[in-house]
Amino acid sequence: MNTSTAAAFPAGCTAFRGPLLHFIGEPGLTQPNPDSYEYHADGLLVVADGRVLANGAATDLLPRLPAGTEVGQWPDSLIIPGLIDTHVHMPQLAVMASYGTQLLEWLETYTFPTEARFADAGWSADQSQLFLDLLLAHGTTSALVFSTSHKVAAEALFSAADGYNMAITTGKVMMDCHAPDGVRDETEASYSESRELIERWHGKGRQRYAVTPRFAATSTVQQLTYAGQLVAEYPDVLMQTHWAENHAEIAWIKELFPERSSYLDVYDHFGLLGERSVLAHGIHIDDVDRARLAETGTRIAFCPTSNTFLGSGLFDLASARAAEVQVGLATDVGGGTSLSMLATMAEAYKVCQLRGQSLNPFQAFYMATLGNAQVLHQAADTGNLQPGKYADFLILDRTASPALRLKHKADRDLQGMLFDLMILGDDRAIRRTYIAGQCRYDRESTKGAALNACISG
Ligand code: GUN
Ligand code: ZN
């Protein structure tokens, strides 16, 4: 663009100067396509009214700022879009790092008792706030989230997210069988409460609803029918569930639904597949499953830290992508061991290594930003820093730890810098997190300190 004739930015905008990276397409798993991203070694992000006004080279854009505009200086940093998590459980913060079990025993021993506390509205409100503050401290600006079977838990999470103007998609968990008292819901109420929550929250501000049957084992046929009915009645809500995570789980589903040809066919039968459906895990699957996922547009959330921690298995990313299945990246806390999408990228890389597959750092950062925005149907508003999108972005610290500082001194190229951040980075590398142009987390501020104190206190 000819900057001498380009219009000045409006008064009241703010600007952030530093290395800036975002994606405009998919790089690919092996050789990254250089047309898939834009990188400015000395970049500028211009924000007004919660939205991106412009991004580009600082030398091009600085002359267009009105005199006196505040310009944040972020050398040794990286400005990127906010990270997006496509599968995480708000009530499972305290479940992280629970010792010695695999999925079904883990659910019974640790998870269900922890989730039972969310019948209490006050507890749900406190935990929802803590959960969002922790997401922000880990650089996550948007997520598809499981709450619990209690309507108050979903309400609390929506309400807290709305208070931050943060794009959260969640729903009341539907689970009316094969679970203890305190976390089971009533079949009819699961339908009516889901409807009430959709009417109240779906499309309110940045909030969206996801119909949330936990997994096929904890819903009766009637409840799965209701879930399908909700998806049909409200075609623009999302649907989230778990699928094909663990061998014992899969054998159980076979027993419970002998008339269905596969685990995927259970969800298919109840009308739960489609472009707005996100199935977490999808580890133990075959080419027939992949073809059906691709045909219906159903997405998988790849949850590497959970899949390794619970000993569930190694997700086959290359086969899913070769079959044109859309795959998002997710933490799955508390089966997962970190809310950090950087740590999640590192684990994804290791899972790919164990399968003899590649995950180059461009693809990993793409997946955690624009790719995940597309998986969740929110790329019109988030996922990169194109003008008009919400200004959800991060200032990453490339020198956040001794190991990162050491690598930084070696003057790494862009690929090296991204790889260092994804393999060695975690919440320490999050310097600031902005939601719709507002700083919601600042590692150096009293808010960052208060959050640390609240967790340790
Ligand atoms: N399958 C059913 N519920 C859950 C859960 O809470 N976490 C995981 N990882 N898998 C599940
Ligand atoms: Zn999960």
Residue 6 located in a structural domain: no
Question: What CATH code is carried by the domain that includes residue 49?
Answer: 2.30.40.10
Asked if residues 297 and 274 have their Cβ atoms less than 8 Å apart, the reply is yes
Cβ of residue 214 lying under 6 Å from some atom of ligand 1: yes
> Residue 307 and residue 270: Cα distance in Å, rounded?
26
Same domain, 181 and 298: yes
The beta strands (E) that lie in 65-131 are given as 71-73, 77-81, 83-89
Q: How many A from CA of 279 to the centre of ligand 2?
A: 9
Which residue type does 390 have?
Y
Cβ of residue 226 lying under 6 Å from some atom of ligand 1: no
Cβ of residue 390 lying under 6 Å from some atom of ligand 1: no
Asked if residues 43 and 17 have their Cβ atoms less than 8 Å apart, the reply is yes
Residue 200 located in a structural domain: yes
* Number of separate domains in the chain: 2
Cβ of residue 176 lying under 6 Å from some atom of ligand 1: no
Cβ of residue 290 lying under 6 Å from some atom of ligand 1: no
> Residue 177 and residue 172: Cα distance in Å, rounded?
15
> Residue 376 and residue 434: Cα distance in Å, rounded?
20
- Is residue 334 reached through a cis peptide bond, with omega within 30 degrees of 0 on the bond before it? yes
Query: CA-based diameter of the chain, in Å?
Result: 71
Q: How many A from CA of 132 to the centre of ligand 2?
A: 17
Q: How many A from CA of 88 to the centre of ligand 2?
A: 6
Joined together, the tokens standing for residue 120 give 């209490």
Joined together, the tokens standing for residue 375 give 């998986």
Same domain, 175 and 34: no
Same domain, 101 and 50: no
Same domain, 288 and 334: yes
Question: For tokens 């008339």, what's the residue?
Answer: 259
pLDDT for res 6: 84
Determine which residue's CA is closest to atom 7 belonging to ligand 1. 335
Task: Please choose from 245, 247, 252, 312 the residue to mutate so as to test ligand 1's pocket, defined by most ligand atoms within 8 A of CB.
Answer: 245
Cβ of residue 335 lying under 6 Å from some atom of ligand 1: yes
pLDDT for res 447: 65
Q: How many A from CA of 107 to the centre of ligand 1?
A: 7
Phi, psi of 215, rounded to the nearest 5 degrees: -165, 170
pLDDT for res 246: 98
Same domain, 236 and 106: yes
Residue ranges of the alpha helices (H) in 234-380? 247-256, 263-269, 287-296, 304-309, 317-322, 341-354, 361-366, 372-375
Question: What CATH code is carried by the domain that includes residue 254?
Answer: 3.20.20.140
Instruction: Name the nearest CA neighbour of 429 among 359, 333, 341.
Output: 341
Cβ of residue 426 lying under 6 Å from some atom of ligand 1: no
- Closest ligand 1 atom, residue 336 Cα: 9
The parent domain of residue 239 ranges over: 83-375
Q: How many A from CA of 245 to the centre of ligand 2?
A: 10
Same domain, 181 and 312: yes
> Residue 307 and residue 326: Cα distance in Å, rounded?
18
Which residue type does 203 have?
G
Instruction: Give the strand pairing for 277-281 and 238-243.
Output: parallel
Same domain, 240 and 309: yes
Same domain, 72 and 101: no
> Residue 16 and residue 403: Cα distance in Å, rounded?
26
pLDDT for res 452: 62
Same domain, 64 and 188: no
Same domain, 59 and 90: no
> Residue 118 and residue 96: Cα distance in Å, rounded?
17
> Residue 285 and residue 249: Cα distance in Å, rounded?
13
Series of mean pLDDT values for 10-residue runs along the chain (457 residues): 72 97 96 96 98 98 96 96 99 98 98 98 98 98 98 98 98 98 98 98 98 98 98 98 98 98 98 98 98 98 98 98 98 98 98 97 98 98 98 97 92 93 97 98 80 60
Q: How many A from CA of 242 to the centre of ligand 1?
A: 6
pLDDT for res 456: 56
> Residue 48 and residue 436: Cα distance in Å, rounded?
9
Residue 343 located in a structural domain: yes
pLDDT for res 5: 66
Sign (positive or negative) of CA dihedral 378, 129, 48, 45:
negative
Cβ of residue 115 lying under 6 Å from some atom of ligand 1: no
C-alpha neighbours within 13 Å on the C-beta side of residue 198: 21
Same domain, 163 and 211: yes
Q: How many A from CA of 286 to the centre of ligand 1?
A: 21
Cβ of residue 242 lying under 6 Å from some atom of ligand 1: yes
Same domain, 60 and 171: no
Which residue type does 52 have?
V
> Which of 333, 353, 375 finishes a domain?
375
Residue 201 located in a structural domain: yes
Task: Please choose from 215, 302, 315 the residue to mutate so as to test ligand 1's pocket, defined by most ligand atoms within 8 A of CB.
Answer: 215
